[in-house]
Each structure stands twice: as C-alpha cells, then as structure tokens.
Structure 1
Amino acid sequence: MELLKDKILGQAKVVSDQILRVDSCINHMIEPNIMVEIGQEFAARFQEEKITKVLTIEASGIAIGLTTAMALKTPLLFAKKKVPSTLGDYYMSNIYSFTKNEAVAISVAKEYLTPADRVLIVDDFLARGEALKGLTHLVKQADAKLVGIGIVIEKVFQGGGKALRDAGVRIESLIKVSRLANGEVYLEE
C-alpha cells in the first residue's frame, strides 16, 4: 500500500484540522491502479471470512467496493441515498454527513441483502463513523452477518473507529491518520 500512502502524502489536501481531500485519486478522480490494489488488499485481509456480499454507500464507495468485490469474486451492493420508485421492499437507515452537513436516508432492497449473507462493508473514509453505523444497521435489519469493515483512510482522531471497535466490529484500515495540522497529514505508524 506504499502507492496509496505516497499519493495521500503527496496529493491530499488538508482543508482543516478535520477535513482531508483525496479527490485527486480516491473519490472524485479515480486512479484505477490504486483502486485495484485497495480491492486486492481488502480481499487478502478478509479472505477467510467467506464473504457473500460487499456493501458500500453511493457514490465514493462504489469504486472501492467494485474492486474489492472483483477480488473476492462476489457481488457488490451499494446503499442508495435516494429511494427510487422501482426499489420495492427495502431496509432503510438514517445517517448524518458532516462533510456535506446533511442528513440522508440510505436504503438497500431486501431481495439483495438476506439472512444468508456474510457482508463486508467498505468505504473511503472513517471519521465519526456515521455512514458505517448506518450501513451496519442495514446489515442488522436483514439479519445478515457483518464480517468486518474495510476502510481506505481512517481519521483516528475523530473517534468513529474506536466506537465501532468497542462495539465488537472488526475494522481494517489501510491508512490511519492521527491528525491534520498546519496543512500536513500525520499518519499513525
């Protein structure tokens, strides 16, 4: 994951002591070679879990989810932020996005998430954990098994990862940011 680490240290922009922009390679303009490495790394870390579904949230999680699902040879399911009229029966959870400063209802069709599923959740960031709590709530509603969460960048200082780990959730983070200060990214070793 040296390529990912180099990209973050070289191209990420520190917007504030809370916000890190990685849209030049992760969640706006996407570098396919980095995404493939991310997917392969998550697949390697969770290979023993017999995953039947990779779950993420639209939109920035889809590329990460797709390469992970490809590496695991399993379907990708993404939670929608708007319920289309064609969705049918669905599970729903409410989340709050601090980055976008808005509450959003996310949903997945019941036919695609079932009690037989063993689910790996993946996403680009873990900060306060709101999106991940919403995704785990969807898994719980379906009586599916959450095997873990794969995160590209965890902002450790914002506490979401600790709260989820304290609740017994396995989290594998590729990059852990200990703090953002003076325009610099400080990584946890």
Structure 2
Amino acid sequence: MDRLKEAIRRQGTVQSGKVLQLDAILNHQVDPELIMEMGEEFARLYRESGVTKVVTIESSGIPIGFAAAYKLGVPMVFARRKKTLTTDNDSYCERVPSFTKGIVTDLMISKKLLSSKDRVLIIDDIIANGDAVRGVIRILEQAGCTLVGLGIAVEKAFEKGAPALREAGVRLDSLVRVASVDGSEVRFTD
C-alpha cells in the first residue's frame, strides 16, 4: 500500500535499531482517511472468506480493526490488556510478552463475545515477534472459532513473527513489509 509506505517514510521514526515508532500514523494519532483505506484493503482481501467477526488488540489495532469490520459489515471485538471494574470475569485470558513495551501483559476477551460459529479475521497494527497475535489465536482456539486469516498493517519482515505464523499455516496478509531499519532509514520489501 503505497500511501502507507509514504506515511511511514515521512512520519515514522526509528528507535534503537529495531523499534519503528509510528505514533503519528497508527499508535497515537490516526489519519481517518488512511485508516479507512486500510480497512477497505483488508475487506477486499477477506470479503469471500465468510468473516463473521474482526478481532483486534487494544489499543493500536482498534482503528484498523474497526475500519475492516465496518467495510466487511461485521462486529469488531478487541482483546483488552487491562482488567477494569466492568471487565467480564468469565473471559478468555492469555499472557503474552510485549515486544515494544518489554513487559508481559494479559489479553482478555469475554466468553460472551465469541462462539464456535464465528469465522474470525484478526487485524493488528504491527507484527514483530508475533506473541500478541499468537495469544489471540489461542483465545480463538479455546472459543472454538475458525481463524480465516490475519491482516497486519506493518510487518517487520526482518523479525520472526510473520514467517513463523505463515509456516504454521496461518494466512497472513500485510499491507506493507519492512525489510530493514537502518539508522533513520526504513526499507520496504516488494
């Protein structure tokens, strides 16, 4: 997706060699028009897959997940990272390490929101090691859902997450694939 690549070149910053900060694009501020284009692209890729729900991860996956769900005409569910007073105690929960935060967090989805009849498309903003996505996949397995695929806005192709998921047989579509980050330069594949 050329428009996303251009936004990353203009507004993304590289921190500590491997961390690509996209606060001005995906993680703190969003361009609604770009987000809706991303949602449309994921809808185009998965329209024929019989998706009944889009699942994403709090918080940066929410805008893209919403856009894809809207374009597909299905509900969106997001995995919460923090338990609140209103969090359903009857929830699926998985512990996952966070690549960018450097901590272990919980992912929770209420059991009322998933069923064995659901055909789920997972949407996320960035994949590096893939730990958070694997946590969501484990939740979907517990719920008996069918995973139709994984839509990623930005794939760090130089990290192990996406290749490992593809090798495990998961359909994974990325809008852009980052080949490397060197100093302040971001290089894309394709």
CA distance in 2, matches of 1:3, 1:175: 10
Amino acid at match of 2:95: N
Residue 163 of structure 2 corresponds to 162
Q: Could you tell me how far apart the structure 1 residues matched to 2:124 and 2:99 are?
A: 15
SS of the residue corresponding to residue 26 of structure 1 reads helix
2:24 aligned with 1:24 = yes
Moved more, 8-17 or 137-146: 8-17
> What per-residue deviation string (whole Å, max 9, x for no partner) do you get for residues 159-183 of structure 1?
1001111111000000000111121
Please report how far the alpha carbon of residue 118 of structure 1 lies from its aligned counterpart in structure 2 after TM superposition. 0.2
Q: Tell me the distance in 2 between the aligned counterparts of 1:78 and 1:113.
A: 11
Give the 5 Å matches for 1:1-189: 1-86=1-86, 87-189=88-190
Q: Secondary structure in 2 aligned to 1:135? A: helix
Distance in 1 between residues matched to 2:27 and 2:178, nearest whole Å = 17
How far has the Cα of 1:16 moved from its partner? Answer: 2.5
How far off is 1:85 after superposition? 4.1
Give the 4+ runs in structure 1 shifted more than 2 A. 83-86
Contact in 2 for aligned 1:47/1:72 (Cα 8 Å): yes
Contact 1:16 1:181 in 2 (8 A): no
Aligned AA for 2:82? K
Letter of the 2:66 partner, please give it. L
Amino acid at match of 1:141: Q
Contact 1:17 1:179 in 2 (8 A): no
Deviates more, 1:84-93 or 1:175-184: 84-93
Aligned partner of 1:180: which letter? V
TM-score (structure 2 length as normaliser) = 0.97
| In 2, Cα distance between equivalents of 1:98 and 1:150 | 18
- Structure 1: any 5+ residue segments left out of the alignment? none
More deviation in 70-79 or 86-95? 86-95
Tell me, in whole angstroms, the C-alpha distance in 2 between the residues paired with 1:83 and 1:114: 22
Q: Distance in 2 between matches of 1:115 and 1:83?
A: 24
Contact 1:128 1:158 in 2 (8 A): yes
- Aligned residue for 1:115, secondary structure, equals coil
Which runs of 5 or more residues in structure 2 are unaligned?
A: none
TM-score (norm 1): 0.97
